[in-house]
Amino acid sequence: MAQTNCSQDSTRYLDAYNYIIQEPVNQEKTIVVSDSIVDLDRFWFSQDIADYPTEKEILNQYRANKKFVWMDAYYSPYLASLFCRKTTMPKNVLFFSKIEDYMLRADLLLYKQQSNKFDYKKMTIQNIGQIYLFIFNKDGSLKFAFSHEITYD
C-alpha cells in the first residue's frame, strides 16, 4: 500500500530524517535532502528482518511485484517543502524513496564535487554511503530502523 496522504507522508519523512541526523555517525555531517523520490532497493535488508516474517515477505516481493522495473526519479513537492535547501555546501546528500507498504528507504551519500549532487545515479558511482530502511506501524509510528554502510562501484 503506497501512502498518498501528504501530512502522513511528511511525518514519516521527518521521522526518518530526524533518526538519520541523530545517529552518532552523522552528528558532524552537513546534510542536504534531495527533492526527488528515488526507487531504492530493499534487498540489502533481507537478513535484518529475518525475525519478522510479514515484513520479510513484503521486502522480498517488492521488486518482483514491480516486475523488476525501476522507476525514474521524480520531483517531490513534499520533500521540497519539507527540506528547504539551507546548506549550500553540503558534504552529504540524503535521498528518499517513496513510502510503500509502510516502508521507506533512504541513502545518505558523500557529496563528490564533480557530480550533480541531486543526480542519484551519478552520486553512486565509486562512492560510499549509509543506507537505511524504515518500517512504520499503521498508525505512522516508527516500528524498526536498520542501517548499513555500503560501497558503490
Contacts of 63 (CB under 8 A, 6+ apart): 41, 42, 43
User: Does 6 score more than 80 pLDDT?
Assistant: no
Which pLDDT score is estimated for 1? Answer: 39
Signed CA dihedral, 80, 83, 84, 88: sign only: negative
pLDDT tens readout for residues 122-141: 888 889 999 999 999 999 99
The mean pLDDT value for 48-69 works out to: 88
